């Protein structure tokens, strides 16, 4: 008797079909092999190698400083851990906004050098040509609208976006444009739940929300946030499933105490 232990890979088509079947899509970030393996094994459909690595991994204030080389390194680590999930990588700030040719080259580097399955970029109409080029090259693209952290210095704050009619209307038009351009899905960050609902009903590609209410086709969180690894960051859209920061603080405190007291290592922990 032979058992097929091969794991079936989630594809962009799987993700698109989930919307029609009414099955919600779960997405989490990962930036390294170990966390990616855990996120993958627990059944998350999409792993995002977010440029939030700039904050979470490198300690930067914003996402702007992370480079394409650094994103590729994180993506390589994640791809080795993801056996089933679709791996999506953020194009970092400055590698796609200005020039469609550069956008394509950045995307090709990510796909070639990391083995990831798709890229994500922030914006709508402004980056239309970049998205067109990348999609035409056969690279799956995930859009990202609403609060787009790479534009933080233009927004001036991380406040909820598209509360006014004019910005809401632009967001709806951008969402429709992204669908037309061939994006396979769309992240909507920190926008009113009613608007997210409206967009989700208006397009045929799945919407994945973060601070965008329960009517999106899927949800995404930064894995370190939902595990409670950084207790200072607590916008209300984060649900903390664990309080790892406190647990790790306690464990490491105990280790320090044991080393200092001579309690570690004991007779069984030496040769």
Ligand X SMILES: Nc1nc(=O)c2c([nH]1)NC[C@@H]1CN(c3ccc(C(=O)N[C@@H](CCC(=O)O)C(=O)O)cc3)CN21
Ligand Y SMILES: CC(C)C(=O)C(=O)O
Tell which residue, 117, 118, 96, has the closest CA to residue 106.
96
Cβ closest to ligand Y, residue 88 vs residue 111: 88
In the numeric block, which tokens belong to residue 171?
Answer: 């967001």
Applying CB under 6 A, does 190 fall inside the site for ligand X? yes
* DSSP label of 126: G
CA distance 141 to 250: 42
144: three-class secondary structure by DSSP: strand
Cβ closest to ligand Y, residue 153 vs residue 271: 153
Q: Helices 100-114 and 128-136: crossing angle, nearest 10°?
A: 40
* Shortest distance in whole angstroms from residue 220 CB to ligand Y: 5
Binding site for Mg ion (CB under 5 A): 50-51, 90
Residue 187 touches which of ligand X, Mg ion, ligand Y, none (Cβ within 5-8 Å per kind): ligand Y
CA distance 66 to 60: 9
Binding site for ligand Y (CB under 6 A): 29, 48, 50-52, 90, 187, 189, 210, 220, 222
Residue 69 annotated as binding?
no
* Shortest distance in whole angstroms from residue 187 CB to ligand Y: 5
Applying CB under 6 A, does 225 fall inside the site for ligand X? yes
Applying CB under 6 A, does 122 fall inside the site for ligand X? no
**269 is a catalytic site residue:** no
Catalytic residue among 6, 189, 232, 245: 189
Question: Which residue in 222, 223, 227, 228 binds ligand X (CB under 6 A)?
Answer: 222
Tell which residue, 76, 182, 186, 66, has the closest CA to residue 134.
182
In the numeric block, which tokens belong to residue 157?
Answer: 């704050």
Phi, psi (deg, nearest 5) at residue 104: -65, -45
Residue 142: strand pairing partners: 120, 185
Applying CB under 6 A, does 90 fall inside the site for ligand X? no
Residue 24 annotated as binding?
no
Q: Are 177 and 186 in contact, with CB atoms under 8 Å apart?
A: no
Applying CB under 6 A, does 112 fall inside the site for ligand X? no
Q: Which residues are annotated as a binding site for Mg(2+)?
A: 51, 90, 122
Q: Which residues are annotated as a binding site?
A: 51-52, 90, 120, 122
Binding site for ligand X (CB under 6 A): 52, 55-56, 63, 149, 157-158, 190, 222, 224-225, 233-235
């Amino acid at each position: 008797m032979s058992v097929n232990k091969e794991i079936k890979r989630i594809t962009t088509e799987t993700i698109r079909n989930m919307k029609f079947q009414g099955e919600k899509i779960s997405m989490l970030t990962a930036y390294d092999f170990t966390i990616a393996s855990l996120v993958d094994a627990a059944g998350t459909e999409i792993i995002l190698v977010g440029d939030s690595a700039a904050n979470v991994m490198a300690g930067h204030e914003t996402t702007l400083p992370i480079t394409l080389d650094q994103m590729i390194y994180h993506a390589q680590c994640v791809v080795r851990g993801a056996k089933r999930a679709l791996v999506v990588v953020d194009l970092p700030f400055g590698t796609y906004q200005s020039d469609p040719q550069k956008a394509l080259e950045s995307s090709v580097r990510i796909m070639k050098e990391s083995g990831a399955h798709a890229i994500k970029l922030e914006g709508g109409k402004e980056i239309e040509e970049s998205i067109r080029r990348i999609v035409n090259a056969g690279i799956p693209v995930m859009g990202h609208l609403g609060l787009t952290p790479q534009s933080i210095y233009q927004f001036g704050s991380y406040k909820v976006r598209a509360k006014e009619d004019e910005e809401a209307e632009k967001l709806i038009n951008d969402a429709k444009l992204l669908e037309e351009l061939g994006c396979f899905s769309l992240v909507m960050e920190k926008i009113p739940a009613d608007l997210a609902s409206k967009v989700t009903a208006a397009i045929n590609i799945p919407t994945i929300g973060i601070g965008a209410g329960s009517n999106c086709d899927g949800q995404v969180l930064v894995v370190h946030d939902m595990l409670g690894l950084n207790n200072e960051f607590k916008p209300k859209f984060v649900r903390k499933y664990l309080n790892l920061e406190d647990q790790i603080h306690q464990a490491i405190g105990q280790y320090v105490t044991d080393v200092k007291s001579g309690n570690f290592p004991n007779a069984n922990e030496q040769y």
